[in-house]
Structure 1
Amino acid sequence: MRLNLYLTLMLLAFVGRPALAAGGLPGGDSLTLQQCYALARQHAPQAKQRTLLQQSADYTLENAARGYLPQVGIYGQATYQSEVTQVPISVPGQEIPVLSKDQYKLYGEVQQTLYDGGVIHQQRALTKTQRQADQQNVEVTLYALEERINPLFFGVLIIDRQRAQNAILQQDIQAALEKIEAAVRLGTALRSQADILRSELLQAAQQAVELQSTRESYIAMLALFIGQPIAPGVVFAEPPVPTAVATDLYRPELQQFKLQTAVFDVQEKSLAVRNRPRVSLFFQGGLGRPALNMLSNDVRGYYIGGLRLQWQLSGWYTARNDAALIGIARQQLTVQEETFLLQTRVTQARQLADVQKYTALLETDDAIIALRASVKQTAAAQLANGVLDAHDYLREVHAEDQARQARNLHALQGLMAHYVLQTTTGRP
């Protein structure tokens, strides 16, 4: 009972309090830890972000590429001015027209970029790099699901071991009860001794019910993560012990840090190109009063075309501060990476110590079980001969039961420690 309580508290600390769900993978099938990892990734809501991020990046890249297409605009204005241009001479017999103070213009313009300083190219490069960083961020989120799957999967394995041991315990008590009942019928034992064993048998049956209920709870929580119902008959396959313990880190966060650094590199290049001059061809045509002939007060059509140079020098006002902001962001990222590495190394060291601890415990568990089994066999013989009472016999039965439960727990805790360490370390 104490081991079961310990297991429950340990798992709740890992998985929080997700809701339960009814299950039903086809009974008799087996479920592996790696299958749970894969199904959890497929079912996680975050997995949908991959497609959305790809679509968003594609639209952004397409829009940026259209910056090379001719840019078309229609413009118009109507003005009233206090003074107009006048010819300061008079010609006898000639009337020189006077421009109206209300003037109108409606025109269209086509502009084709010849040189943009590399702005569009950098926009596309930044979009691609940011997309990779965002995709890697999704990978980090999905990888973290393994930390939620491990305690649930191994929790079911531990409970299955406990249930098997509980069945053995009930068999031992039942065998002793049958012997005592025979002795009671012969008048060589008190009925109270049989009642003690019956009570203990009922308690063992209650423990079996508790274990089954806890197992169903863990399976229901696991079913929520993998997005598939799990039938009671599904067999949880015990994963093999990893052949080697990796020490180098292969976590997806490391790639995330590299990609975010690449984003900063592209942002710095974008700062360098945004203040460059731009050259384009343009053609403008429309109606105006006046048109290009400033001495005509008639509405007339016109057109004009040529080369245009644009150079926004005001961008230099903030260039230094913008570069400093990127530098600060780089430093913050460096601090985050160093913090992540430190915390991961500390966790890795603690988990490696756990692996070594359970290995050492298993070396003595078998010897303890052998000794307890020998004592229990002697106690069983003494009980049958009336030398030992039921209380003393049950003490030895429980001692062996606790020893076997401890070994089962140590074995699976050690196996889980290997896979938790593997999750912390990552896989190449």
Structure 2
Amino acid sequence: MKRITLLFVCLVTLPSIAQQSITLNECYLLVSENYPLAKQSQIIESQNKLEKASISTSKLPQFSLDAQATYQSDVIEFPFSIPGVEVEPLNKDQYRATISVNQLIYNGGLTEASLHLKSAELKTKQKQVEVNLYQLKQRINQLYFSILLAQESEVLLAVKKEQLEAKLKEVQSGIKYGVVLPASDKVLEAELLKISQQSEELKSNKIALIETLSSLINQPLTIETTFENPLVETQLNSDLSRPELELFQFKKEEIENSENLIAKQNSPKLLGFATGGYGNPGLNMLDNSFQTFYTVGVRLHWNVFDWNSNKKQREALSVNKEIVANETEIFKLNTNIELNQQQKEIIKIESYIHSDLEIINLRKEVLKSADSQLKNGVITTSAYITELTNLYEDENTLVKHRIQLQLAKANYNSIKGQ
């Protein structure tokens, strides 16, 4: 009983798998989530956290341990004697071990400036990843609409096959009753074989396209998958919202943070320190024995003059900022040129579609007449197939232009940043 139930579940489940469907927007989402490059954003964030944690340690006490043993060729000696006081000469072998603690008190905001720079670098790197992923959209468009074209062509080919099969039955009946010339059915049978070849070729091309798309979005897709035909809407204007524009802005902010960091590098630094040790001699050089000792205090360091190195670094960063501004203008110009070309492509294809519809209506009238003439034995089946093929090719051209129009609109939206 359990086996029967399991078999029933499998039979119910399999058709639903075969009828799996996917949309263009789902492909966009899947490639942004599953493409290997998407993982890089998390890696960059982890790296940035480690770098910021390392910078933050400058606020913590810094410990150091030193130890040394020396032998000196000479030591300090008093050139005179003090009556009643015996001064023991220092040993030429001396020993010292110290542990020091340094605590940063003030560095002019250098640590905070370094942390802000790392945050700016993170935003720039993550936006660069987003830009690289976004550039895959047009590749997705090309694959998706190529699959749609193959899908629609299969439908048209199936319709043509049905028409020929129906016509074959009529012709065979006509041959049987002597109305149609013998061997007329052979022409139709040959055409049906051609259709089978075309169908296999379409299927093979479609499989190759599906496999490529499946690899890009890391999603299992099969020949049975239905690719929904999207209704692509677009507004023909030049308002750009590409992620590259944000990337250029983040690069400017990164440069500004670098300028701020460099400006603070020459700020005075104030540190507190303490040193404790054990050695022979200690701080009292006249006591020739092992002693403990310590020192505490504050230290100020200020690089007053650096030969304008700091100023030159900031000037170099200003040049970088100008370069980024120039790159932004170049990107906007090139993108607007692409938009203009794509807009003209959309208008051109729309005019083609209008002509296609008129041509198809005329072809249908011609085929209707050819069908009547074939029934009355006025024309041969070859002439009929010619007219049927003409109609099929024109209908296929219409489908192709409609898919091309959707692709052009999708590419326009991708170029624009929608």
Q: TM-score, normalised by structure 2?
A: 0.90
Task: Verify the 8 A CA contact 2:94 2:281 in the aligned structure 1.
Answer: yes
1:254 to 238, 242, 245: 245
Alpha-carbon distance in structure 2 between the residues aligned to 1:193 and 1:207? 22
* Shift in alpha-carbon separation, 1:315–1:298, aligned structure 2, 3 A: farther
Distance in 2 separating the partners of 1:187 and 1:256: 78
Query: Equivalents in 2 of 1:418, 1:230: separation in Å?
Result: 25
- What amino acid is the match of 2:67? G
Alignment equivalent of 2:49, drawn from 43, 58, 64: 58
User: How much has 1:278 moved relative to structure 2?
Assistant: 0.7
What amino acid is aligned across from residue 380 of structure 2 in structure 1? Answer: D
| Residue 407 of structure 2 corresponds to residue 416 of structure 1 | yes
Alignment match of 2:144 (pick from 150, 153, 172): 153
Q: How far off is 1:258 after superposition?
A: 0.6
**Structure 1 stretch displaced more, 379-388 or 91-100:** 91-100
* 2:166 paired with 1:186: no
CA distance in 1, matches of 2:393, 2:350: 19
Deviation at 1:259, TM superposition (A): 0.6
Residues 1:123 and 2:114 aligned together: yes
Q: CA deviation at 1:314?
A: 7.1
- Report what 1:132 is aligned to: 123
Question: How does 1:16-27 map onto structure 2 within 5 Å?
Answer: 26-27=17-18
Aligned partner (choices 390, 398, 404) of residue 399 of structure 1: 390
Partner residue of 2:211? 220
Asked whether 1:379 is paired with 2:370, we answer yes
Separation in structure 1 between the aligned mates of residue 221 and residue 237 of structure 2, nearest angstrom: 32
- How far off is 1:180 after superposition? 2.5
Query: Counterpart in 2 of 1:7?
Result: none
CA distance in 2, matches of 1:225, 1:304: 66
The answer for the alignment partner of 1:9 in structure 2 is none
How far, CA to CA, are the matches of 2:312 and 2:212 in structure 1? 50
The alpha-carbon deviation at position 189 of structure 1 amounts to: 3.4
- State the 1:253 CA deviation: 0.9
Measured in 2, the distance between the counterparts of 1:412 and 1:245 equals: 19
Aligned residues with identical type, % of pairs: 30
Per the TM alignment, residue 113 of structure 1 is displaced from its structure 2 partner at its CA by: 1.3
1:191-250 per-position Cα deviation (integer Å, ceiling 9, x unaligned): 343222211111012111211222222112111122121243332111113053342111
Determine the structure 1 residue equivalent to 2:132: 141
Shift of 1:371: 0.3
Equivalent-residue separation in structure 2 for 1:212 and 1:357 (angstroms): 30
Residue deviations 1:150-191, cap 9 Å, x none?
111111211111111111222232233233322322334333
Deviation at 1:264, TM superposition (A): 0.6
Q: CA RMSD in A?
A: 2.1
Match in the other structure for 1:164: 155
Q: Deviations over 1:106-143 (max 9, x none)?
A: 11111221101211111111111111111111111221
1:8 is matched with none
Provide the C-alpha distance between the structure 2 equivalents of 1:183 and 1:159, rounded to a whole number of angstroms.
Answer: 36
1:292 counterpart = 2:280 = no
Q: Tell me, yes or no, if the aligned pair for 1:25 and 1:234 is still in contact at 8 Å.
A: no
CA distance in structure 2 between the partners assigned to 1:182 and 1:398 by the alignment: 23
1:425 lines up with 2:416 in the alignment: yes
Alpha-carbon distance, 1:82 to partner: 4.7
Task: Give per-residue Cα distances to partners, 1:272-323, cap 9 Å, x unaligned.
Answer: 1111121111111101322211223222111110111123457556324433
The answer to whether the 8 A contact 2:206-2:223 is kept is no
**1:286–1:302: 8 Å Cα contact kept in structure 2?**
yes
Query: Which AA in structure 2 matches 1:136?
Result: K
Q: Report if aligned partners of 1:275, 1:316 keep a CA contact under 8 Å in 2.
A: no
Query: Which of 90, 99, 123 matches 1:99?
Result: 90
Distance 1:276 1:25 in 2: 69
Tell me the equivalent position of 1:72: 63
Deviation at 1:348, TM superposition (A): 1.6
Q: Where does the alignment leave 5 or more consecutive residues of structure 1 unmatched?
A: 1-23
TM-score (norm 1): 0.88
Aligned length: 404
Distance in 1 separating the partners of 2:223 and 2:143: 15
CA distance in 1, matches of 2:93, 2:316: 49
Deviates more, 1:413-422 or 1:394-403: 394-403
